[in-house]
DNA sequence: GTACGGTGCGCGAACGTTCGTTCATCAGCC
DNA sequence: GGCTGATGAACGAACGTTCGCGCACCGTAC
């Protein structure tokens, strides 16, 4: 498996290695005869050019790095799919690495990426919101795009329209006639959670419904059980809720279980709307009304933004948000009296859609 | 963001770049005074060594490539988690790429990996079973380990113990007293499917139950709907089944839905056992008895095998299989009369456990 | 004062490319 | 037959490292 170099090809073809290089790159004027000899030699020796040497000279590796927390996470995995696909479309390779939140290996990994001279980095890591170290490591050193607001700022962000991912389902529930709508949120320290609570409140206000802080409960949205526990806590406090917006589908499955245990029928006694539109959402009992988030598109967009940043074309200053979409199923009673979705965002604030 | 080289550090410190290199690598004898100047210069300039140059010389990139079909697939995503973690533990970077089965970009991607001089490749791609091209591309050119038997052979394989992943649940159902046990299989052309049918038949035989070809139905196991459809087809033919082994949890969820639609209670009218132990398996209605497959461990083991192959230590000749484990939940009626699991494999054949 | 061992650095070479320049050869032309 | 211009191929240099060798210089010992 020892590799063959241009020099090897050249000696076999009886030419200088530079001439061999010219032929194999299709550049420079070479006679048909020698060209043929060189091509034959390259084929015979199974020559594969050494990208290390080329990149060393060209100062570009056509490689990007991905910093993620957990590839098995549904959303992140889909981000990765879109990201890698778009990267490959542009002829870029993708290096991945997972980092535990604030551990020392985050710094080590970033360092390794810079040593490899990646052209840019995409972070798929909620941890960058709280942990300022990662931002410091990246800012000004490598072109970077993040799918989460980076502590300290200065790094382009692309996310789903998180505000509407809460506004739409809440409005949907209100339009179905529900007056007491609760919500099971994601982790409190996450930015997306704040934005969603804001969207939820906005929809309540638009429907002339009061905001009840006791109708909001935080859950651990990494596990189904988090939604199950939070729903129980919420219903202990507010047993009269008839509508529930849960910040992700995993927790919504837990919520359905909790409601079932309490003998509350869905959607008749309590309507439930999730978020994410995971594949299983269509197969819960009852099937889950939810919000489709453009996870794959976020990954794709991140790469496009990164390429723009690398080429020093205007690095998008303000966060980019991608449209979300309601998916109506039985857990909310279907799309009965839902108002048409207006094309323009219902609200606009400085915080809108960033998360 | 222009990068700083040893030469830059050296001129700032007033030494030759080789001396700077010695200091920054901790090798060679250098006086404390100049050492300090060099370190200071490196820090001031934010020097990061160029791995391209180093790797060019050392002929090792400490990087491995991953060829996968779909990172959003539950099993593959977990493979990837284990793989990347183990790689990082050994100081290796991981390059990923997804390839559509037999498309031309598979060849392109492999080529790109070899150009980058990756130290080895792991394939997480069922497609290598059918498509001989990928095997040809890799064999003899790059150290490779696969999680799927590669068409043409010659490449080390590591998988869960697929035979037992079917034997154990079938025996479990038999031990619960079920006499008519059906199975919804994965895609027919996949090797794992054959091995599982073999394990299923073996368990039937060991329980003195007849094998009924009509009690076996293929499903598209990439989607829940595949299990739903297959179960309906199966029950149309054999309405009297009282036990069902479904080849993955996603399809098992579809099976539960199909049984519900037919008014058959689980587990009383028909017991169901899935396979994979996805996080949601504990939250279906009823919770799903299933087989835990060591997906993460498969990824880790693949990296260890690959490192052995790279170091030219005995490249494991025969396929490695990792132990699987029953997880008892309500969909089968729990672990009521299950026989103790014998430590040794119940059967051994040439096909055992490979898939 | 010469020989000697050790220390501290510089220097050349190599890894496999790409790029630009130089050089030899040859045909065509007055 | 000497000049021009084109063509084909060789050549030198550079990218940023690592490695080993060589060479000053200093202090010590005879």
Q: What is the pLDDT of residues B243-279, one digit of tens each?
A: 999 999 999 999 999 999 999 999 999 999 999 999 9
Whether the predicted pLDDT of B347 surpasses 50: no
pLDDT tens-digit series, residues A228-263? 999 999 999 999 999 999 999 999 999 999 999 999
Q: Which of A134, A155, A176 is the last residue of a domain?
A: A155
Residue-level pLDDT at A142: 93
Strand B325-327 to B290-292 pairing: antiparallel
> Which pLDDT score, from 0 to 100, does residue A353 have?
40
Q: Where is the domain boundary, B155, B186, B205?
A: B155
Task: Tell me the nearest-neighbour CA distance from B49 into chain A, angstroms.
Answer: 6
Cis status, amide bond into A267, omega within 30 of 0: yes
- Strand, helix or coil at B25? helix
Q: How far is CA B79 from the centre of its chain?
A: 4
* Position B137 in a domain: yes
pLDDT tier at B4 (50, 70, 90 boundaries)? very high
DSSP A319: P
pLDDT at B338 over 90: no
Partners of residue A141 in chain B, C-beta under 8 Å: 1, 46
> A169 and A133 in one domain?
no
Domain boundary, last residue among B155, B182, B202: B155
Buried b (16+ CB within 10 A) or exposed e, A254-271: bbbbbbeeeebebbeebb
> Look-up: residue for tokens 């490591």?
A137
Q: Are residues A182 and A282 in the same domain?
A: yes
Q: How far is CA A137 from CA A141, A246, A307, B209, in A?
A: 7, 35, 20, 64
B319: in domain: no
Residues B217 and B185 in one domain: yes
Determine, yes or no, domain membership for B339: no
Residues A142 and A95 in one domain: yes
Strands A290-292 and A325-327, sheet pairing: antiparallel
Same domain as B233, residue B275 = yes
Please count the other Cβ atoms lying within 10 Å of the Cβ belonging to residue B157. 24
| Shared domain check, B328 and B200 | yes
Q: What is the CATH number of the domain that holds B88?
A: 3.40.50.2300
Residue B308 domain flag? no
| Residue B354 pLDDT exceeds 60 | no
Q: What is the pLDDT of residue B101?
A: 65
CB-CB under 8 Å, A95 with B72: no
B63/A95 Cβ within 8 A? yes
A27 touches strand D (CB under 7 A): no
Q: Is the CB of B53 under 7 A from strand D?
A: yes
Is pLDDT above 50 for B350? no
B158: which strand partners?
A: B320
What are the tens digits of pLDDT across the range B73-103?
A: 999 999 999 999 999 999 999 999 998 766 7
Its domain, for residue B145, covers 58-155
> CA-nearest residue of chain B to A144?
B1
The confidence band for B31, taking pLDDT boundaries of 50, 70 and 90, is confident
Instruction: Compute φ and ψ for B345, nearest 5 degrees.
Output: -55, 140
**Residues B137 and B78 occupy one common structural domain:** yes
Same domain, A217 and A140: no
Which residues have a Cβ under 8 Å from the Cβ of A226 and sit 6 or more positions away? A219, A220, A250, A251, A254
* Cβ contact A52–B50 (<8 Å): no
Domains identified in chain B, total number: 3
Q: Does residue A80 sit within a domain?
A: yes
Does residue B234 carry a pLDDT above 90?
A: yes
**Which CATH number do you get for residue B12?**
1.10.260.40
- Helix crossing, A32-45 with A6-13: angle to 10°? 130
Mean pLDDT of B141-153: 93
Residue A352: inside a domain, yes or no?
A: no
**Whether B16 CB is under 7 Å from strand C:** yes
Task: Let me know whether B282 and B209 are in one domain.
Answer: yes
Quote the pTM value. Answer: 0.92
Predicted pLDDT of residue B258: 98
From B80, B85, B95, residue closest to A95, measured CB to CB: B95
pLDDT digits (tens, 9 = 90+) for A38-57: 999 999 999 999 999 999 99
Asked if the structure places residue B340 within a domain, the reply is no
Question: What is the 3-state secondary structure of B234-268?
Answer: HHHHCCCCCEEEECCHHHHHHHHHHHHHCCCCCCC
Segments of chain A with pLDDT less than 50? 337, 342-355
Contacts of B94 in chain A (CB under 8 A): 95-97
Determine whether the distance from the CB of A49 to the nearest atom of strand C is below 7 Å.
yes
The sheet with strand B271-273 has its strands ordered as B216-218, B181-185, B243-246, B271-273
Residues B250 and B184 in one domain: yes
What backbone torsions phi and psi does residue B170 show, to the nearest 5 degrees? -65, -45
Predicted pLDDT of residue B236: 97
Does residue A342 form part of some domain? no
Distance CA B217, CA B183 (A): 6
Mean pLDDT across B39-55: 95
Q: Do both B283 and B186 map to the same domain?
A: yes
Is B273:B249 a contact under the CB 8 Å cutoff? no
Residues B44, B183, single domain; the answer is no
- Compute CA distances B82 → B87, B94, B248, whole Å: 8, 12, 20
pLDDT of residue A102: 62
Q: DSSP characters for A49-109?
A: --HHHHHHHHT---EEEEEES-TTSHHHHHHHHHHHHHHHHTT-EEEEEE--TT-HHHHHH
């Amino acid at each position: 498996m020892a590799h063959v170099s241009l020099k090897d090809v050249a000696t076999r073809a009886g030419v200088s290695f530079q001439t061999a290089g010219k032929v194999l790159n299709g550049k420079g004027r070479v006679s048909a005869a020698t060209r043929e000899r060189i091509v034959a030699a390259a084929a015979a020796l199974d020559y594969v050019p050494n990208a290390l040497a080329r990149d060393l000279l060209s100062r570009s590796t056509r490689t990007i790095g991905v910093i993620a927390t957990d590839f098995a996470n549904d959303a992140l995995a889909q981000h990765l799919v879109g990201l890698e696909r778009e990267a490959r479309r542009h002829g870029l390779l993708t290096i991945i690495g997972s980092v535990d939140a604030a551990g020392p290996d985050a710094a080590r990994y970033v360092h390794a990426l810079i040593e490899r001279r990646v052209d840019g980095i995409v972070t798929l890591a909620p941890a960058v919101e709280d942990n300022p170290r990662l931002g410091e490591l990246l800012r000004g050193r490598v072109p970077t795009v993040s799918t989460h607001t980076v502590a300290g700022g200065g790094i382009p962000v692309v996310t789903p329209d998180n505000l509407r991912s809460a506004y739409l389902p809440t409005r949907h529930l209100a339009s179905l006639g529900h007056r007491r709508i609760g919500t099971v949120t994601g982790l409190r320290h996450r930015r997306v959670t704040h934005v969603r609570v804001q969207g939820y409140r906005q929809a309540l206000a638009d429907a002339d419904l009061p905001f009840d802080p006791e109708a909001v409960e935080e859950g651990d949205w990494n596990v189904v059980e988090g939604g199950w526990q939070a729903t129980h806590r919420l219903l202990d406090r507010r047993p009269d809720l008839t509508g529930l917006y849960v910040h992700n589908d995993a927790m919504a499955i837990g919520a359905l279980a909790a409601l079932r245990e309490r003998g509350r029928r869905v959607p008749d006694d309590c309507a439930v709307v999730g978020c994410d539109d995971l594949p299983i959402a269509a197969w819960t009992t009852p099937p889950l009304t939810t919000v489709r988030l453009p996870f794959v598109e976020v990954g794709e967009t991140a790469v496009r933004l990164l390429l723009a940043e690398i080429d020093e074309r205007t690095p998008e200053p303000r966060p980019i948000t991608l449209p979300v979409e309601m998916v109506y199923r039985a857990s909310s009673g279907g799309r009965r009296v839902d108002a048409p979705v207006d094309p323009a965002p219902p609200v606009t604030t400085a915080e809108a859609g960033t998360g």
